[in-house]
Amino acid sequence: MELQYRSTRGTGEPLTASRAILQGLAQDGGLFVPDRIPVLEKTMRAFAAMSYQETAYEVMKLFLTDYTEEELRSCIRSAYDSRFDTEVIAPLVKKAGAYYLELFHGPTIAFKDMALSILPYLMVTAAKKNHLQKEIVILTATSGDTGKAALAGFADVPGTRILVFYPKNGVSPIQELQMVTQKGNNTAVIGILGNFDDAQTGVKEMFGDAELARQLDAAGYQFSSANSINIGRLVPQIVYYVYAYAQLLAKGEIQDGERIHVVVPTGNFGNILAAFYAKNMGVPIDRLICASNENKVLYDFFATGCYDKNRPFVLTTSPSMDILVSSNLERLIYRIAGEDAAQNAELMRELRTDGKYTISGNMKEKLAEFYGNYATEEETAAQIRKQYESDGYVLDPHTAVASAVYEKYAAETNDSQKAVIVSTASPYKFTGSVMRAIDASYDGQDPFVLAEELSRISGVKIPDAIGEIRCANVLHHTVCEKDQMKETVCRILNLPETSM
């Protein structure tokens, strides 16, 4: 049966998967969700014998039902190839009593590659299926990792252009270099003088700007998104939770049907939402452990039922989690509201106007499978140092947040169930923070010198992604104020001045 996608805010006709991927964000500002979460057709024992690519097909075919088998297999084959530095795509590593799911073996050494390697193929296929004649303009905000992964995926893809906004002073030096050195005649990278929430808000406002939409249409353009608001980003992320459980089973680490916990460092909520979807598809996941840094809006939400972004924005060593408006949480709110689009829309209106909303007691009861906690900057650094000193395994700051939160959970609950900790980025993306945590004497050194030192102490080869940018030319120099984002887009696309 074909799956249809609806807006979390209720207006508009349901769309096929390919049309939802092309559109990115619903016209009413809502996010597309499937009209049901399908159940896995294979047993976990069957998945245990499958490759990552085979797993991806079996999971994604259930959501992308208007793609033919040939189309979907072609997208998967093209995405998960030699660009990943390990054949298994997502290795599962056992360290200190937990299992780290390494999602950073792709071309940009962050977990965003897991979805953004395939999104361009899904989108180009969708354009052909729907006879789209317009050029697709990928408009994206990034807190550090999405930007580079999206740029790498869409660079020089025919029929597309990609514009990425990032907080000028809110990403690591390596993250910034990865973006501003990106080649591709269809790429543009813009630093904004603001934080990620400012960038994300500006992008969403442009998606909802009717006048801008008319200008784009007249010029032969159509906006879409590579952010996790796009359902084409969320569906591929479900795959690695199915794969992780199957690999634990294949390795004999768990019994068939044994429940596990999943620990996810969380900013925009898409990664842990994918785990929630996997659980609802039939993967035996017990607790969904949501790990925050000092921007602990999600921790407070799970504790109180009140989502309140009215607080200081903290710049941390885990910048991809420096987020106060977690867009994908809306998909969960819609679900626990009984798929009541009107109720969800009202809560999102309150967030937009008051900066906060409070869910009902009945809705909060439906969050019992989630556990939230956070790690301070000091705890994050201590976790990096502790893990390195105990077994030589080096965590990036985001994974360290998750590892620290898992230890807090275990200490609070005395729960000994096995856990998969999602490792979202290579430590090589954050050499300054990582090496300083291991030894304060490294403070202030050049990030590329630190990369060499990190390789020496860890025994892990410097990824190609780091070597490629070391001597690369900076190609993108544009910086704008946060209220000049629309004007900047219009200038890049050569739209008429009346649209500014």
Catalytic residue ranges: 112
Residues 31 and 235: their CA atoms lie apart, in Å, by 13
Q: How is residue 498 written in tokens?
A: 């009346």
The radius of gyration of the chain's CA atoms, rounded to the nearest angstrom, is 21
Chain-centre distance of CA 256, in angstroms?
29
Among 197, 492, 157, 469, which Cα is nearest to 327's?
A: 197
DSSP 380-392: HHHHHHHHHHHHS
Question: For residues 424 and 275, what is the distance between their CA atoms, to the nearest angstrom?
Answer: 14
d(CA 352, CA 375): 27
Query: Going by C-beta distance under 8 Å and a sequence separation of 6 or more, which residues neighbour residue 274?
Result: 234, 237, 238, 241
Angle value at C-alpha 429, between 445 and 384, nearest 5 degrees: 80
Q: Which residue has the tokens 């040939």?
A: 70
Which neighbouring-strand residues pair with 97? none
Give the whole-angstrom CA distance, residue 277 versus residue 63.
11
| H or E stretch at 72 | helix 69-79
**Residues 331/33, Cβ–Cβ less than 8 Å:** yes
Length of the chain: 500
What ranges in 141-267 are assigned the alpha helix state H? Answer: 146-154, 173-180, 196-207, 210-219, 231-250
- Say which amino acid occupies 306: C
Q: What CA dihedral angle connects 312, 148, 187 and 207, to 10 degrees?
A: -40
Distance CA 482, CA 490 (A): 15
CA 482 to CA 193: how far, in whole Å?
Answer: 6
Distances (CA, A) of 193 to 168, 199, 311: 6, 9, 19
SS3 362: helix
The number of CA neighbours under 13 Å toward the Cβ of 459 is 4
CA dihedral for 75, 76, 77, 82, sign (positive or negative): positive
**Torsions phi, psi for 135 (to 5 deg):** -80, 130
CB 481 within 8 A of CB 465: no
Give the residue from 185, 182, 164 showing the smallest Cα distance to 473: 182
